């Protein structure tokens, strides 16, 4: 397996495919998944001639199951170390859900010349949690429910999420894919329970407002209008107002996991943004 060891001794697994002199595209997965969630996109862009990279966030997938450091500043610092180790320059960073938050924080702090563009898909910024400054966010009780379910029976919880709201399979008439459900569960159970528990706080309570304001690169926001996990009104509709060079593209009727349920549509739009 390909890994780097971070400054705090954590082993981070990554995939790196394609010509080393081609423009890199870096994929950042959502909670509680792994780099495997991007298999379709990595193959698509590899066959287009790009260098494609994806890593398992610490505590997830094949990376070390860490007890500490499961928060957004450390996640972004790990990406800094990965980009340096692989000498990634002029890269496109694409993040889904929690990974979108990771992209925003990393890109705002990246070394000069490392990042060309960013894409946030169904992403958590600017902040999910209901606060005084964000009164229409989701109540803390929602995320407490996630923590309770994870503690009670993580394996069952990781069946229920993809079978229900994540892919919109709870909607009447939905074309349910058992393969997607099984693959979600497989990826989730590869990771560490403690890291997954901590990451609920990371994705729900981290405020990315200043990160979004700091970005001067082109940023594409892609969001399903029927996202039941990261509702669009509290995320993309707010994030676009904070970006200096942002574009918002929404998808009627599509879910949180839209790049997995509709890869042909999303891949084509990603390619259009990358080559523009």
> Contact 29/121 with Cβ under 8 angstroms?
no
Q: What is the mean pLDDT of residues 88-97?
A: 98
Residue 97 appears among annotated catalytic residues: yes
In angstroms, the CA 37 to CA 198 distance is 21
In angstroms, the CA 190 to CA 187 distance is 5
In angstroms, the CA 268 to CA 203 distance is 28
The mean pLDDT value of the chain amounts to 98
Kindly indicate the confidence band of residue 228, based on its pLDDT and cuts at 50, 70 and 90.
very high
Residues 2-25 have pLDDT tens digits of: 999 999 999 999 999 999 999 999
In angstroms, the CA 149 to CA 115 distance is 37
C-alpha 90: how far from chain center: 20
Report the C-alpha dihedral over residues 158, 101, 15, 53, rounded to 10 degrees: 140
Domain residue extents for the chain? 3-275
Which one of the listed residues 34, 35, 63, 97 is annotated catalytic? 97
Q: What is the mean pLDDT of residues 195-204?
A: 98
CATH number of 3-275, picked from 3.40.50.300, 3.20.20.140, 3.40.50.1820, 3.40.190.10: 3.40.50.1820
Residue 256 appears among annotated catalytic residues: yes
How far apart, in Å, are the Cα atoms of 272 and each of 45, 46, 154, 222? 12, 15, 39, 13
Please report the pLDDT score of residue 92 as a whole number.
Answer: 98
Residue 227 appears among annotated catalytic residues: yes
Alpha helices in 128-177 (DSSP H): 140-161
Residue 198 reports pLDDT greater than 90: yes
Residue 194 reports pLDDT greater than 90: yes
Residues 119-170 have pLDDT tens digits of: 999 999 999 999 999 999 999 999 999 999 999 999 999 999 999 999 999 9
> Contact 226/171 with Cβ under 8 angstroms?
yes
Kindly indicate the confidence band of residue 219, based on its pLDDT and cuts at 50, 70 and 90.
very high
Kindly indicate the confidence band of residue 185, based on its pLDDT and cuts at 50, 70 and 90.
very high
Residue given tokens 């997995």 in the structure block? 260
- Exposure of 48 by Cβ count < 10 A (0-12 exposed, 13-18 middle, 19+ buried)? middle
DSSP letter for 79, please: H
Kindly indicate the confidence band of residue 1, based on its pLDDT and cuts at 50, 70 and 90.
confident
Please report the pLDDT score of residue 38 as a whole number.
Answer: 98
Which one of the listed residues 35, 211, 256, 269 is annotated catalytic? 256
Which one of the listed residues 227, 235, 255, 269 is annotated catalytic? 227
DSSP letter for 166, please: I
Q: How many CB atoms lie within 10 A of CB 111?
A: 11
């Amino acid at each position: 397996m390909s890994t780097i060891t971070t400054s705090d001794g954590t082993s981070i697994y990554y995939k790196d495919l394609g010509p080393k002199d081609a423009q890199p595209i870096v994929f950042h997965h959502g909670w509680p998944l792994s780099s495997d969630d991007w298999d379709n996109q990595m193959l698509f862009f590899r066959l287009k001639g790009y260098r494609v990279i994806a890593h398992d966030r610490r505590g997830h997938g094949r990376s070390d199951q860490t007890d500490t450091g499961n928060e957004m500043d450390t996640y972004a610092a790990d990406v800094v170390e990965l980009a340096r180790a692989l000498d990634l320059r002029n890269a496109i960073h694409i993040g889904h859900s929690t990974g979108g938050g990771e992209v925003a924080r990393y890109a705002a702090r990246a070394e000069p010349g490392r990042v060309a563009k960013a894409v946030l898909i169904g992403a958590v910024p600017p902040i999910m949690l209901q606060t005084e400054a964000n009164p229409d966010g989701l109540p803390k009780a929602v995320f407490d429910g996630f923590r309770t379910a994870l503690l009670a029976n993580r394996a069952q919880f990781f069946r229920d999420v993809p079978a229900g709201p994540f892919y919109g399979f709870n909607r009447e008439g939905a074309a349910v894919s058992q393969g997607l459900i099984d693959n979600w569960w497989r990826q989730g159970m590869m990771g560490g329970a403690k890291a997954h528990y901590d990451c609920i706080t990371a994705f729900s309570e981290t405020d990315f407002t200043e990160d979004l304001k700091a970005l001067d690169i082109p940023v594409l926001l892609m969001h399903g209008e029927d996202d039941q996990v990261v509702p669009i009104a509290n995320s993309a509709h707010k994030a676009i107002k904070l970006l200096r060079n942002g574009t918002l593209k929404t998808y009627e009727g599509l879910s949180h996991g839209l790049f997995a349920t509709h890869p042909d549509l999303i891949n084509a739009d990603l390619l259009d943004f990358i080559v523009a």
